[in-house]
Amino acid sequence: MSLSLNSESLVLGIETSCDETAAAIVRGGTEIVSNAVASQDELHAHFGGIVPEVASRRHAELITAIVQETLVQAGVGWGDLAALAVTRGPGLVGSLLVGVSAAKGYALTTGLPLLGVNHIAAHMTSSFLTGEGIDAPAAEEFPALGVVASGGHSDLVLIEEMGSYQLVGWTRDDAAGEALDKAARLLELGYPGGPAIERAAVGGDPTAVPLPRPDTKTGFEFSFAGLKTALVRTVEPAGLAECGYSLADLAASYQQAIVDCLVREAMQAAVHFGVRQILVGGGVAANTLLREDMAAAAGAKGLGAHFPPRWLCTDNAAMVAAAGYYVGLAEGASDLAMEVDSALQLPIYIV
Ligand code: KG4
Ligand code: ZN
């Protein structure tokens, strides 16, 4: 049974699917009232990537304080809220468990309805969030194509209307962010790799290093593993210092190849499904080259392209609260016995 939510309803969202511990309060599915995020980047940088046990332990240490902080920031109490939303997948199972267990505890003690949210659907809602620091959210023009490019996903999502998502494209192997993180390790640039490669690429020639643009020719499928292997073959025989290319050229060429693949498949899907706009989300959507090239390619086809501000591209709980609002309207409260699902998928589009 759907929940009776309206434009004044406050939903508190909790996000712990990866290495960000976050809680936020959103009004009416769009307006950010408060947003608290504790990043674990520094903690994991030490290991060159995310260590799942370290991530879940840190979530457990931070979650109560982050939830408290978002309530204080918003100046509201539990009694002012209409529902509690939490990411139940996909993500790291230990990390998801911390958020979902906390949300269940809060739901039990406050009596608030619990709303289980798909993390990819949440990334799609970030284009529609409003609040301080957001100039213009995306217009509600559908159908739209969602592009979620993150550390765990490279998904293309057909959005028929707010809250209705169907998966039309995915990656056969590595995600775009994962490919950037692996390349950054090879180039000794540290973690997280996406921003490090973006910084290293400044002034580099994106055409200097010949790298492939793998095309599976199957539907709208990405494949980034071959691209990473090509970079390994370029760098490893002689070593980074002796491979014949500057770090800036390597980073710029690799970044361009990833962006070209994302733009190519997104445009093919956009034309195929006759969408009116493209909504890009996920950590990689913070990348300036991707923002520029996707906007130019969409513009050339007469389509709009929307990118949330960078702080809403990476994992956050405002998008979870917003997605929860639509789960509440469409499906109603989730069962308190709801389980985490580390491989949770959106429904696959069936022709
Ligand atoms: O969405 P997100 O915060 O977490 C996941 O759900 O995975 O995405 C994290 C990913 C990482 O792979 C990171 O390297 C990448 O997003 N990323 C970027 C940038 N900022 C973060 N990639 C390219 N350019 C950036 N500026
Ligand atoms: Zn994410």
Residues 313-323 pLDDT 10s: 999 999 999 99
User: Does residue 232 have a pLDDT over 80?
Assistant: yes
- How confident is residue 10, by pLDDT bands cut at 50, 70 and 90? very high
Closest ligand 1 atom, residue 91 Cα? 6
What per-residue confidence (pLDDT) applies to 272? 96
217 vs 132: CA distance, rounded Å: 42
Question: What average pLDDT does the segment 97-121 reach?
Answer: 98
270 vs 297: CA distance, rounded Å: 11
Q: Are 286 and 271 in contact (CB under 8 A)?
A: no
User: Does residue 103 have a pLDDT over 90?
Assistant: yes
**Is residue 180 in contact with ligand 1, taking CB distance under 6 Å?**
yes
The residues pairing with 149 across neighbouring beta strands, listed in sequence order, are 154
User: Could you tell me the CATH superfamily of domain 144-307?
Assistant: ATPase, nucleotide binding domain (3.30.420.40)
User: Does residue 47 have a pLDDT over 90?
Assistant: no
Parse the chain into domains and list their residue ranges. Answer: 10-134+312-331, 144-307
- How confident is residue 350, by pLDDT bands cut at 50, 70 and 90? confident
- How confident is residue 219, by pLDDT bands cut at 50, 70 and 90? confident
User: Does residue 191 have a pLDDT over 90?
Assistant: no
How far does the centroid of ligand 2 lie from the alpha carbon of residue 16, in Å?
10
Question: What average pLDDT does the segment 3-13 reach?
Answer: 97
Closest ligand 1 atom, residue 193 Cα? 14
**Is residue 154 in contact with ligand 1, taking CB distance under 6 Å?**
no
- How confident is residue 118, by pLDDT bands cut at 50, 70 and 90? very high
178 vs 180: CA distance, rounded Å: 5
How far does the centroid of ligand 1 lie from the alpha carbon of residue 80, in Å?
34
What per-residue confidence (pLDDT) applies to 225? 95
Closest ligand 1 atom, residue 176 Cα? 12
The percentage of the chain sitting over the pLDDT mark of 90, rounded to a whole number, equals 90
Comparing 10-134+312-331 with 144-307, is the CATH topology the same? yes
User: Does residue 45 have a pLDDT over 90?
Assistant: no
Pocket test for ligand 1, best of 19, 21, 150, 199 (most atoms within 8 A of CB): 150
**Is residue 189 in contact with ligand 1, taking CB distance under 6 Å?**
no
Atom 2 of ligand 1, nearest CA residue? 283
- pLDDT tens digits along 58-92: 999 999 999 999 999 999 999 999 999 999 999 99
What per-residue confidence (pLDDT) applies to 332? 97
What per-residue confidence (pLDDT) applies to 216? 86
What per-residue confidence (pLDDT) applies to 175? 97
Q: Are 75 and 4 in contact (CB under 8 A)?
A: no
How far does the centroid of ligand 2 lie from the alpha carbon of residue 282, in Å?
5
What per-residue confidence (pLDDT) applies to 66? 97
User: Does residue 295 have a pLDDT over 80?
Assistant: yes
Mean pLDDT score across all residues of the chain: 95
**Is residue 90 in contact with ligand 1, taking CB distance under 6 Å?**
no
Pocket test for ligand 1, best of 59, 314, 320, 344 (most atoms within 8 A of CB): 314
**Rg of the chain, C-alpha, whole Å:** 20
What per-residue confidence (pLDDT) applies to 46? 78
User: Does residue 44 have a pLDDT over 90?
Assistant: no
318 vs 341: CA distance, rounded Å: 21
Residues in the 5 Å CB sphere of ion ligand 2:
150, 315
Q: In 3D, which of 125, 129, 123, 127 has the Cα closest to residue 151?
A: 123
Pocket test for ligand 1, best of 95, 284, 311 (most atoms within 8 A of CB): 284
What per-residue confidence (pLDDT) applies to 217? 84
Q: In 3D, which of 319, 341, 337 has the Cα closest to residue 128?
A: 319
Question: What ligand has the least distance to the C-alpha of 319?
Answer: 2
Residue 332, sorted as left (phi over 0), alpha (psi -120 to 50) or beta, turns out to be left
Q: Is the dihedral of CA 304, 318, 102, 324 positive or negative?
A: negative
Q: Are 180 and 146 in contact (CB under 8 A)?
A: no
User: Does residue 202 have a pLDDT over 80?
Assistant: yes
Which own/partner contact pairs does 109-112 have at CB distance under 8 Å and 24+ positions apart? 110/78, 110/81, 110/84, 112/78, 112/81, 112/82, 112/83, 112/84
Q: In 3D, which of 268, 314, 304, 266 has the Cα closest to residue 157?
A: 266
Question: What average pLDDT does the segment 285-292 reach?
Answer: 98
What per-residue confidence (pLDDT) applies to 19? 86
Q: Angle CA(51)–CA(249)–CA(228) in degrees, nearest 5?
A: 40
What per-residue confidence (pLDDT) applies to 48? 76
The residues pairing with 156 across neighbouring beta strands, listed in sequence order, are 147, 169
**Is residue 308 in contact with ligand 1, taking CB distance under 6 Å?**
no
At 201, the amino acid letter reads A
Question: What average pLDDT does the segment 295-300 reach?
Answer: 98
**Is residue 177 in contact with ligand 1, taking CB distance under 6 Å?**
yes
Q: In 3D, which of 52, 256, 284, 7 has the Cα closest to residue 153?
A: 284
User: Read out DSSP for 178-247?
Assistant: HHHHHHHHHTT--SSHHHHHHHHTTT--TTSS--------STEEE--HHHHHHHHHHHTTT-TTTSSS-H
Question: What average pLDDT does the segment 256-272 reach?
Answer: 97
Q: Are 184 and 196 in contact (CB under 8 A)?
A: yes
**Is residue 18 in contact with ligand 1, taking CB distance under 6 Å?**
yes
Question: What average pLDDT does the segment 156-182 reach?
Answer: 96
Question: What ligand has the least distance to the C-alpha of 37?
Answer: 1
User: Could you tell me the CATH superfamily of domain 10-134+312-331?
Assistant: ATPase, nucleotide binding domain (3.30.420.40)
